Amino acid sequence: MQTNFFRHIAKMGLTGDLQITLRSTTENSYVLSVLLNNDGCGDEARKLIPPLNLRGTAEDLDNGFFESISAPLQTASGLMVDMESFMKQLEEAQKQSAMEKEKMDKEKKEKEAKEKKYKEAFQKAEGLEKEGKYKEAWSALPKVSENPDFAEAIRKKQDEYERHFAPSLFTENLTENFTESQSQTDNH
């Protein structure tokens, strides 16, 4: 006797293990339980999918078996494949989120370290300023290229220190010329 039962099963394209249990209930009546199990699906919700139970005589089961199980089993198979795909995407999203958080934490730490270095250099310069060491204070200031966020404050301090150790020649000449012309006018 030849049967094409397994060819029909193969045509359904199910993913997972198909478990079929046939139990006799009364004389000439059966309960057929069909369960699709996909261990490749990591979502535990797959265990909530109940088996498909069919009741009837052997003749009823022969005549309506494939028509009764095809759509529900293909739906269950697709659902478990989708659940696994979802779980993988969710896991990837969590990894990406962890990577983003790690990246943001790293950037925050780098920024804090840069700000700390800036503040320390600025404090050192102000300490030297109090001692009247303007050239050393100017040199101790943080570099504008390394601290673009604080460029204005750094340049302002540099200008302030420069006035103490390198006065403008233009300003000095004006003062000297003014003083000379003032004294010449007084003598005449």
Q: Could you tell me the two tokens for 115?
A: 């700000």
pLDDT at res. 179: 45
DSSP lists the bridge partners of residue 69 as: none
Report the distance separating Cα 16 and Cα 37, nearest Å.
5
Report the distance separating Cα 93 and Cα 84, nearest Å.
14
Amino acid at 111: K
pLDDT at res. 114: 87
Report the distance separating Cα 178 and Cα 99, nearest Å.
68
* C-alpha to C-alpha distances, 185 to 10, 28, 79, 171, nearest whole angstrom: 118, 138, 104, 21
Beta strands 17-26; 52-56: pairing state = unpaired
pLDDT tens-digit profile, the chain (188 residues): 677 888 888 988 888 898 999 999 888 899 999 998 888 888 888 888 888 898 989 888 888 888 888 888 888 888 888 888 888 888 888 888 888 888 888 889 988 888 888 888 888 888 888 888 888 888 888 888 888 888 888 888 888 878 777 665 555 544 444 445 444 545 55
- Phi then psi for residue 12, to 5 deg, are -70, -20
Report the distance separating Cα 135 and Cα 128, nearest Å.
9
Report the distance separating Cα 186 and Cα 188, nearest Å.
6
pLDDT at res. 168: 59
Q: Could you tell me the two tokens for 160?
A: 């302030």
